[in-house]
């Protein structure tokens, strides 16, 4: 347990102390890297413009916030839309970084919840609530602390309203949980 907390503390120090979280492309330092990059991702629906707004766009490493560059996810105008990434193993999550859209409609992400746990899809609303996005300025980066919450899935949910969900990149930092199962 102490090893997990020391790893989480080191992750937070790396992100805060060196400012990499704000670059959207932190350089790996030691054993800490973006756990979400390239992992399977899913969303409640797909905005009907070909396959531009696929869930995988939020974990492709491209931090451009312009929708026309084709690096952002985009759902339909759903009631309580969601997006999540499957980390494919359980991790103690320290921090989640969410890059907002910069070209328009950035206020839509306001009130979105970041959750961590072992439920995916619409059930991700049952997972631990790390925090809520409040910064909706153009090109904003929200850094949400999850305090070592354990889970396989990291999700973004917009509760209680009909909305389009779009984010341009999601980065997840934490340490693997060993000795499970």
State pLDDT tens for residues 112-171.
Answer: 999 999 998 888 999 999 999 999 988 789 999 999 999 999 999 999 999 999 999 999
Tokens of 153: 């899935």
CATH number at residue 54: 2.60.120.260
In which domain, by residue range, is 135 found? Answer: 2-176
Q: Is residue 64 part of a domain?
A: yes
Burial class (CB in 10 A: 0-12, 13-18, 19+), 115: buried
Q: Is residue 181 part of a domain?
A: no
Residues 80-128 have pLDDT tens digits of 999 999 999 999 999 999 999 999 898 999 999 999 999 988 889 999 9
Number of domains in the chain: 1
Return the DSSP state at 29: B
Tell me the pTM.
Answer: 0.84
């Amino acid at each position: 347990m102490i090893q997990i907390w020391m790893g989480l503390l080191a992750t937070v120090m790396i992100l805060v102390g060196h400012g990499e979280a704000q670059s959207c492309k932190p350089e790996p330092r030691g054993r800490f890297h973006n756990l979400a990059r390239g992992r399977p991702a899913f969303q409640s629906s797909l905005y009907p413009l070909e396959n531009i707004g696929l869930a995988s766009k939020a974990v492709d490493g491209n931090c451009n916030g312009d929708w026309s560059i084709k690096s952002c996810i985009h759902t339909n105008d759903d009631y309580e839309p969601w997006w999540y990434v499957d980390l494919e193993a359980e991790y103690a999550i320290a921090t989640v970084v969410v890059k907002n859209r910069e070209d328009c409609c950035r206020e839509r992400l306001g009130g979105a919840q970041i959750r961590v746990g072992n439920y995916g899809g619409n059930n991700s609303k049952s997972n631990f609530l790390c925090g809520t996005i409040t910064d909706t300025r153009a090109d904003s980066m929200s850094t949400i602390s999850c305090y070592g919450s354990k889970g396989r899935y990291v999700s973004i949910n917009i509760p209680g309203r009909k909305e389009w969900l779009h984010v341009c990149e999601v980065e997840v930092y934490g340490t693997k949980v060993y000795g499970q199962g």
